[in-house]
Amino acid sequence: MNYCLKENCKNINSPPEARICLTCGSMLLLKDRYRAIKMIGQGGLSKTYLAVDQDKPSKPPCIIKQFYFISQNEVDIKRAIALFEAEAEKLDILGEHPQIAELLANLHDDYCQYLVQEFIPGKNLSQVLETEGIFSEYQIRELLNSLLPVLEFIHSHNIIHQDIKPENIIRRLPSNSAYKAGIKSQFVLVDFDVAKQLTGTPIFKPGTILCTP
């Protein structure tokens, strides 16, 4: 399945290897590289997609976050791009931590700003609790011991998450090599609201939250 990223285009039925939308004629690959294959979130007129990186032989999964500009004024758009560049720099620094999704690209076109981020395989904490039940005291301590150093790293860069909840904590599945080495699953913190100040501007539509899925 292919999703067209153009606003208001509803086409999701282009052939798997198509490069042009059959409905509106837009390019399906973001910057001729990232192909959106499934919408996994929508809020405040921003959208989140599961995507694949067509440039790599294994076509690994990634996440595309799409944000629409309200104003089409050239000055406003330039200002918006500059603001996003500053926020992307923060995300890039945070992504150096193994328990935070890596920022892969910060892109834009005439109508939207895009963030491409690492896909984190696994279930969020809310899903884990639903299937496995309430955590024991040992599991809670394990969770805190895993995440508190991440928060310390974030705060050392003068950044606050602002939206910590079970849905934004993912229990990452270990890779095959890590599993064989006896490494357990790892908790990853996602969806940093580091661009909260942007939502109050006349440039971006409301509900803009950065970081992944």
Residues labelled catalytic:
163
Residues 47 and 7: beta-carbon distance below 8 Å:
no
Nearest to 35 by CA among 54, 10, 13: 54
| Residue 28 to residue 148: CA distance in whole angstroms | 40
Amino acid identity of residue 134, one-letter, is I
Residues 17 and 182: beta-carbon distance below 8 Å:
no
| Residue 15 to residue 198: CA distance in whole angstroms | 36
Nearest to 12 by CA among 35, 32, 38, 30: 38
Calculate the CA 37 to chain-centre distance.
14
Tokens of 203: 């440039």
| Residue 192 to residue 133: CA distance in whole angstroms | 26
